[in-house]
Structure 1
Amino acid sequence: MVITKHFAIHGKNYRSKLIKYILNPSKTKNLTLVSDFGMRNYLDFPSYKELVKMYNDNFLSNDTLYEFRHDRQEVNQRKIHSHHIIQSFSPDDHLTPEQINRIGYETVKELTGGRFRFIVATHVDKDHIHNHIILNSIDQNSDKKFLWDYKAEHNLRMVSDRLSKIAGAKIIENRYSHRQYDVYRKTNYKYEIKQRVYFLIENSKNFEDFKNKAKALHLKIDFRHKHVTFFMTDSNMKQVVRDSKLSRKQPYNETYFKKKFVQREIINILEFLLPKMKNMNELIQRAEFFGLKIIPKEKHVQFKFDEIKISEQELVKTNRYSVSYFQDYFNNKNETVVLDNKNLVELYNEEKIIKEKELPSEEMVMEILSRFQEK
């Protein structure tokens, strides 16, 4: 059985440490299970430290030339310096470490069309032999970056499965079967925890209400330490799950949850005030009475509520609430009769109380979640 995993490498220092880790002589039979593609090899019989430095120099030379040619602000894929791929094999596959290293080499070479540098290090220190592969995100000409998306993820698995099957490894048939996935997710603790967390965010008034209702859902969330931990008291879980294990993009820590509720409050205040305001300056002034500070920049807008700062990009995925959005909104808006500040705040709070009454109580959350999961 062959399993592949992908992790983006965002920092050059981390990449350097990762190269050092995957080349560990005690894991790679004294570097005999290391292969590479596209590297400028200036050493005949390199030592461990020399090999680490040589690979790092190769990657850095690509980085330097690419950054010189593309001297502009990096976004999304450009922030990714390399890709870390783990390719694991089962002991039941009965493949030699040398065969497994070759499978990793051919897999990545075919995946990238032979245009990107990479290292393959096969680790034999555990029962299951596995490849650690570091793929440079910049091509050998230092011109383009490798775009890692769902298509690349799919192609990696397809190429890996095909080459592994030819070598004699067992392959999971119907890997993408919806039925198999549905069974997996319903028996996976992390999936169940995330489902309860999402439900709680949507059905809680604020962060304190979220914590109280979590207990009613048998979800124990511990915010006392560096890493927030999750544990379902009504399951057969043997150990807690860390916040960073639930999501690669954003750890589910205290800041994350507080931001979620602040985002909702900001949007509610804006949606309430906008139809009642004449212009941007009035919106900024009136928002202060709600505890919301609106800070327009040249193009973007920053919001501050409850000591938490949020940009408009974090608030919504579209460009809504940007400077141009507000300009267009007020330019096309008709005259509106505005209430005084006291009446505005009172009216908002009255509407807020009515909305919050529609949310389930602590006694009802488990029953409503069960109905939701049955759909």
Structure 2
Amino acid sequence: MTVIYMPKQSNGTVHSAKDLNQLIDYVMNSEKTNDFEYVSGQNILDIHSTCDEMLATRTMANALKNKPQKNERFGYHFVQSFSPDDHLTPEQVHEIGCKTMKEYLGSSAEFIIATHTDKPHLHNHIVLNATDPLTLNKFQQNKNDLERLKEISDRISKEYGFARRACCNKEIFSIDFSEYKNIISEISATKSELKRIGNNINQIAKHLNENKNNQTKEWMSDYQKQLENLEEKIQEVVLFISEGE
């Protein structure tokens, strides 16, 4: 399962050169990326000069097109997380992240992506320059764009055999059991039918008991026990699937 979001604390935005530099230093941490093995960039000449290159793009845009604005956005921060249950390699996680962001941002965007391997759940950090180096325009996105990003992430992730479940912008992992919906639905319907049959048997047994038909009553009692045992087994299956054990 994969989850992609913008960190809630910062809303995924960077508003100064200092904060941009600190963020890039954090996501490129050599201890988290296997000595920079899982760091790559788009339209970045050298990952070790990422911040300087992004700031140079901004300076050029300000000189030719834009004027610096109050509370200006220097960059954006995205996180794409994966569950340990997906059993992915760092290379696969990095590849998924690169495909996702390239499709979402386009070929002219300037960003780096770093895959962190220091926790049980592998995850990508993406730092995007708020200024496009080709158009010199500022990056813009809305809620619909974020939903599109999630859809892209889902689609690409499914190529690797797993899917995302909704979360509230947190690194929460759970197994997707959507494929079992039909099974659970059929079992539930069967349980309802068994309950209806059981009620009918109770009425028949009551009638037989009143008529003192001991042999038939014994047979019906045994049948009802079998029915109860069957229902218990079905409940166990439903519980097993629901809990994912």
Pairwise TM-score range, normalised by the shorter structure: 0.5 to 0.7
- Give TM-score, length-normalised by structure 2: 0.62
How large is the RMSD of aligned CA atoms in angstroms?
1.7
Q: 1:89 to 1:39 in 2, by over 3 A?
A: same
Quote the residue 2:64 is aligned against.
69
Cα distance between partner residues in 2 of 1:106 and 1:68: 32
> In the alignment, what sits opposite 2:181?
none
Q: Find the counterpart in structure 2 of residue 11 from structure 1.
A: 16
CA distance in 2, matches of 1:153, 1:93: 23
State the shift of 1:70 in Å: 3.2
Instruction: Name 2:73's counterpart in structure 1.
Output: 80
Matched-pair contact (CA < 8 Å) for 1:115–1:139: yes
Structure 2: give runs of 5+ residues left out of the alignment: 7-11, 168-245
Of 27, 52, 55, which residue of structure 1 is paired with 2:50?
55
- Report the residue type matching 1:31 in the other structure: F
> Which residue is 2:241 aligned to?
none
* Alignment partner of 1:89 is 2:94: no
1:171 Cα deviation from its structure 2 partner: 2.6
The alignment's TM-score, normalised by the length of structure 1, stands at 0.41
Q: Displacement, 1:73?
A: 5.4
Is 1:23 matched up with 2:28? yes
- Residue aligning to 2:97: 104
- Give aligned-pair identity as a percent: 36
Partner of 2:190: none
Q: What is the CA distance between 1:9 and its match in structure 2? A: 1.2
Aligned CA distance change for structure 1 residues 73 and 24 (closer, same or farther; 3 Å): closer
Aligned residues: 162
**DSSP-derived class of the 2:97 partner:** helix
Letter in 2 for 1:30: D
Residue of structure 2 in register with 1:47 after alignment: none
1:68 is paired with a residue of what secondary structure?
A: helix
SS at match of 1:127: coil
Match of 2:150 among 137, 147, 157: 157
Amino acid at match of 2:122: I
Q: Is the 8 A contact 1:93 1:170 kept in 2?
A: no
Displacement of 1:12 in angstroms is 1.3
Deviation at 1:69, TM superposition (A): 2.0
CA contact (8 A) 2:3 2:164 kept: no
State the match for 2:111 in structure 1.
118
Query: Structure 1 residues 61, 142: CA separation in 2 closer, same or farther (over 3 Å shift)?
Result: farther
Structure-2 change in CA distance of 1:71 and 1:161 (3 Å): closer
Deviation of the 1:74 alpha carbon: 2.0
| Residue pair 1:94, 1:169 contacting (<8 A) in 2 also | no
User: In the alignment, which residue of structure 1 is the partner of 2:120?
Assistant: 127
Q: What CA distance in whole angstroms lies between the structure 1 residues aligned with 2:157 and 2:29?
A: 25
Does the residue aligned with 1:108 lie in a helix, a strand or coil? helix
Alignment gaps of 5+ in structure 1: 42-50, 177-375
The CA distance in 1 between the partners of 2:159 and 2:97, in whole Å, is 13
Give, as a single letter, the amino acid of the residue that structure 2 aligns with 1:13.
K
CA contact (8 A) 2:14 2:74 kept: yes
The answer as to whether partners of 2:62 and 2:68 remain within 8 angstroms in 1 is: no
Task: State the one-letter code of the partner of 2:131.
Answer: I
Matched to 1:163, the amino acid is I
Correspondence for 1:2: 2
Q: Which amino acid aligns with 1:105?
A: C
Q: 1:36 to 1:71 in 2, by over 3 A?
A: closer
Q: Deviations over 1:106-156 (max 9, x none)?
A: 111100121101111000111111001101111122521110211221111
